[in-house]
Amino acid sequence: MKKLLLIVAVISTPAFAWESDNDNQGYKSRFGNEYEYDLSRPADRLRYEVDPRAQIRDELNVDPKRDIERDLGEYGAGKREKRRY
């Protein structure tokens, strides 16, 4: 029952609520790619599932290094683009 309540709470909370959360520090791969979520963490997996913006960023990203990262056991999601000033 407790697991069900947690899932309901996560689904009903907007994705932007975690942007300032200290628990979600993001993830940086060995190749230097920065991601909003580390899918090896159960809490990040739940957050990613309810964040359509992160999922769209991943669908639009065609970086071939992501396949290599997956082969190395790195599971970043919600790729953050590097800001260019």
70 and 32 Cβ atoms separated by less than 8 Å:
no
> What is the per-residue pLDDT across 12-69, written as a single tens digit (0 to 9) for each?
444 444 444 445 578 899 998 999 999 999 999 999 999 999 999 999 988 888 889 9
DSSP 8-38: HHHHHS-GGGGTT-TT---EE-TT--EEEEE
Supply the pLDDT for residue 10.
47
- pLDDT category at 80 given cuts 50, 70, 90 is confident
Supply the pLDDT for residue 58.
93
Domain range summary for the chain, segments of one domain joined by +: 33-85
Quick one: tokens of 37?
């979520």
> What is the per-residue pLDDT across 2-11, written as a single tens digit (0 to 9) for each?
554 444 444 4
Read off the amino acid at residue 20.
S
